[in-house]
Structure 1
């Protein structure tokens, strides 16, 4: 605290105390010599004589001389009484807290108290003693308004000292158990040594309390090194230590360093720490959101330096994975900020990708999807499909797919109007990354719910050629999406004929019991392709596929439901398919399995499938005892 020092006070005699006149000259003096706490004795002053030679002497001087004198002066004040009563209250709290600190034998080993708080407090109290002298001078050097302002500044300084002192007392750092200190622990270090991998929970808790105390009390270099230590230890085991930071640290004090008024070096390190906490664990991610991190992070993404934008984007992307945080993005005006971050030239490619991923998280919220489209999300995302890096393109495709799948017909129409389907098809053709293929194909599948999109896709032979390849060689998820598209779209017979080579892979998909949706997609695709006579002939010639299909009909095979393979058998034996399919199915043992299913009478279409295979011999088959 800096107070303007008035000219040295002159001796005050009784004649000056009885000075008459108007204005401020009529003010009643603060006290009289008879009632002053310092009457007949010199006021305590470590400047007039020899300064304290040690922290212990300094603390003793404050506790037993300076504070008692100021408390007495505050009570006997006759000028600006309200302000002095407030100061008396703060001085009383300060005396109590200092006495508590002095009761510990370890306060002198704490550099925050010894080297920072104690000297700063002495300076504030010296200034306050000077102010008490000015209140005794009827001439009021500097004027009454200036004196009021200086007293208010002194009260604010005392509040800061009380905050810092209470922080140290609550943290237990002034009373910490000496057994928690390692042999290498230097109590005079600017920060405590970072605990090693074998450190106990108590040692780690002490370290985090110390770090967060230094973030609030220390000077710039102290705060910077405390943040460095925090980043070092968090990086060693983020999942475990982030939870301890939440329990023992002071998250609001960290978030305050994200404010534009904070020093740039501190903002950068604080943003890195917040990003680590956002990605480390659910507990730390929830904690920073609950303490209000989203607003400052969005401001950094909007107008911060490039390095800070990337750190903020990392944290926002992780936080918006939680429904509550994703919903809150709109309340902070975050949709427009995220969209601006996706624009070409707005920042790094990494920021673009993370912003697009955050928008995809936000698109899961019903109330926000329409607002996203109204704010221009569709053209921005469609443009990002071609202009961004691979991660940005993947996230843009994912977000477009979310909007198309969970939004209404109007949102799908807006995507088509911006050539979103054509861009997705181009992205799918160019993609070699499995995840990119999956995201693009799912977005195309979501858009296919639009009649206009379905018509365009159904008339595209190159698209179905690619679907054929994906069914044969894609991941399980890609195979399922591709099969769903084949089942749902209405390509021509020529296009279906060109997909014949995908049928063995579809039969294999049908054979696996999980997930049931994949089985259903495979059966739907097979049923669609087997509507073409040449495809029925082609599949019946594939011995492995016919054997798999018959094995799925076996009632003893409980891993596979019977409705879907029966539906495929019906499609394979449809009218005009010739006798080859029926003959091969019968030779593979389909009849006995179908007869048992028909006797149970629980699977639709079984009797019809059996009749197609056996023809007029159906009645006789029921009397035959098939080998077990």
Structure 2
């Protein structure tokens, strides 16, 4: 029945190395035997967990430099040998159901569990005291791809033991191995969190005075924070406060990992107050205000701050601490990644808040944004797109902001990208132009003077329906202004293009929605009426009117005045 008890004859006391190997062998056999115990299952599971922890520490001990004659070490190994032998006897009796009483067996198992826990602590204390030191690089074997959960769990427990009882080198190696497996296979994250103490040990390592241990722990914690279901475990273990201490005092790489972790944790607004309460906002603002800002650190720090602006009180604190001016300065950075992040932060903090939007404008935000858009400067299309969206979101609700924009030459920049930009930035520039001409009559006049209307006419023939629609709506809005109409009709090609596009619709309603209203506006000029009546496109307009297209009917009525009726090629009956 079950496994045979391994040979446990007592060796010579002086043979410490032999004793150590025997303890490891017995523990390995004992762990296997505990899986066969059907009684006191919970207690045996606790004992097995402690045995696995002790076993990992002993296997690591075999890779350390120490004197087996050291009385502390030999005494500990001898005591462990007695305990594991006793434990094996109790396991066998539980498997065979040969124990005398349940209460007595339960009491004995409690004693054994306490002894094993004491051995683990003593071994850990020896590493801490330097009695055991790592003799060479430790290579920890990890399960292969597709390993079963139990093998993965055993490997994680092994790493946990090394983190608990190992010297600095062993702790660093264990952290590195742990990081590698959780990055390679997310299943390890769940397995790791099923193992007691892993998260608490990682959190405690964030307080470590040893840079590499602190960095290694921050990297692992950041990976765990990427899983929504595990964020609550980290927060419950008290991870936020030490992460903020790392931001304040840690190494550059440690700060980067801590900031990335906090960015993930603060995607849940419930954690915002915890970050603020531990001084996180101040620490993050200090990072972003540094003279030598590096995108690898400022990026995630900015990401955390963006997550926090949704809390009104925290947002006000940021403004009071000078965040607006700080991020406007970053928007002028030579690093495009920093520019984009700072611009997106400014949009987030100003969203739905007119006072903050006014502060951004007053502190020079418009000038910084226009500079990014300026074709004279070397910026990527992506960066310019971010700046254009920010201008659209921040500036068009204020007449003052629109005037400042135009004074900085923004219309010339917009025109440049409508004419010369690649598809994505051209469409965005067109959208911004459409929004801009809806802000005021003065903006429409300025756009007319800047030459927007001929460009919009060209875009009425674009392949993209969205582009045609935005160009048509923008032009419809602009020709409502008398000065723009006069300028538009001076070029016969503009009217000819509109009539040609209307004719090319061939029964489809796509462009008519804005082409007919544009022509209606333009017929306030007698010369336009004459051109339409004399053109070969009048019959098409009449045909549309006869098919009950309302705008076509209105246009024909407007053309059917006493002065022009005799020129009509058909008779219109209303």
Q: TM-score, normalised by structure 2?
A: 0.67
8 Å contact 1:258–1:267 — kept in the other structure? Answer: yes
Aligned to 2:488: 535
In 1, Cα distance between equivalents of 2:447 and 2:164: 70
8 Å contact 2:53–2:120 — kept in the other structure? Answer: no
How far has the Cα of 1:400 moved from its partner?
Answer: 1.6
Aligned to 2:540: 589
In 1, Cα distance between equivalents of 2:211 and 2:280: 23
Aligned residues: 477
Q: Does residue 1:404 correspond to 2:354, yes or no?
A: no
8 Å contact 2:54–2:120 — kept in the other structure? Answer: no
In 1, Cα distance between equivalents of 2:236 and 2:506: 56
In 2, Cα distance between equivalents of 1:551 and 1:266: 71
In 2, Cα distance between equivalents of 1:509 and 1:419: 37
How far has the Cα of 1:380 moved from its partner?
Answer: 0.7
8 Å contact 1:397–1:440 — kept in the other structure? Answer: yes
Residue 418 of structure 1, aligned match among 350, 363, 387: 363
How far has the Cα of 1:437 moved from its partner?
Answer: 1.0
Residue 525 of structure 1, aligned match among 458, 474, 483: 474
Residue 493 of structure 1, aligned match among 445, 450, 453: 445
Q: Structure 1 residues 223, 562: CA separation in 2 closer, same or farther (over 3 Å shift)?
A: farther
In 1, Cα distance between equivalents of 2:154 and 2:25: 28
RMSD: 4.8
Residue 224 of structure 1, aligned match among 140, 154, 172: 172
How far has the Cα of 1:448 moved from its partner?
Answer: 3.0
Q: Any idea what the Cα deviations from partners look like across 1:345-369, whole Å, max 9, x if unmatched?
A: 2653432333233333333444533
Q: Any idea what the Cα deviations from partners look like across 1:484-531, whole Å, max 9, x if unmatched?
A: 123325336354232234304653579625xxxx88754442224333
Aligned to 1:293: 239
Q: Does residue 1:363 correspond to 2:313, yes or no?
A: no
How far has the Cα of 1:418 moved from its partner?
Answer: 1.3
Q: Any idea what the Cα deviations from partners look like across 1:327-358, whole Å, max 9, x if unmatched?
A: 65434432222211111326534323332333
How far has the Cα of 1:568 moved from its partner?
Answer: 3.9
8 Å contact 2:499–2:537 — kept in the other structure? Answer: no
1:37-436 pair list within 5 angstroms: 53-55=18-20, 100-101=47-48, 110-112=55-57, 123=76, 161=117, 192-199=140-147, 203-236=151-184, 242=189, 245=192, 252-253=199-200, 255-278=202-225, 281-283=227-229, 288-289=234-235, 291-326=237-272, 328-345=274-291, 347-387=293-333, 389-408=335-354, 410-429=355-374, 430=377, 432-436=379-383
In 2, Cα distance between equivalents of 1:576 and 1:291: 79
Aligned to 2:465: 512
8 Å contact 1:550–1:588 — kept in the other structure? Answer: no
8 Å contact 1:268–1:308 — kept in the other structure? Answer: yes
8 Å contact 2:60–2:162 — kept in the other structure? Answer: no
How far has the Cα of 1:267 moved from its partner?
Answer: 0.8
How far has the Cα of 1:450 moved from its partner?
Answer: 2.4
8 Å contact 1:424–1:444 — kept in the other structure? Answer: yes
Q: Structure 1 residues 162, 299: CA separation in 2 closer, same or farther (over 3 Å shift)?
A: same
Aligned to 1:14: none
Aligned to 1:443: 390
Q: Structure 1 residues 319, 458: CA separation in 2 closer, same or farther (over 3 Å shift)?
A: same
Q: Any idea what the Cα deviations from partners look like across 1:549-591, whole Å, max 9, x if unmatched?
A: 566694x55xx59755554444454545623774569359344
SS at match of 1:260: coil
SS at match of 2:281: helix
8 Å contact 1:208–1:249 — kept in the other structure? Answer: no
Q: Structure 1 residues 500, 614: CA separation in 2 closer, same or farther (over 3 Å shift)?
A: same
In 2, Cα distance between equivalents of 1:235 and 1:61: 34
8 Å contact 1:468–1:499 — kept in the other structure? Answer: yes
How far has the Cα of 1:381 moved from its partner?
Answer: 1.0
Could you tell me which runs of 5 or more consecutive residues in structure 1 were left unpaired when the two chains were aligned: 1-45, 63-92, 127-156, 166-188
Q: Structure 1 residues 102, 265: CA separation in 2 closer, same or farther (over 3 Å shift)?
A: closer
In 2, Cα distance between equivalents of 1:309 and 1:585: 72
In 1, Cα distance between equivalents of 2:22 and 2:199: 35
In 2, Cα distance between equivalents of 1:402 and 1:255: 33
In 2, Cα distance between equivalents of 1:511 and 1:384: 36
8 Å contact 2:157–2:195 — kept in the other structure? Answer: yes
Query: Quick check: 399-408 or 265-274, which moved more?
Result: 399-408
Residue 405 of structure 2, aligned match among 457, 482, 487: 457
Residue 528 of structure 2, aligned match among 534, 556, 578: 578
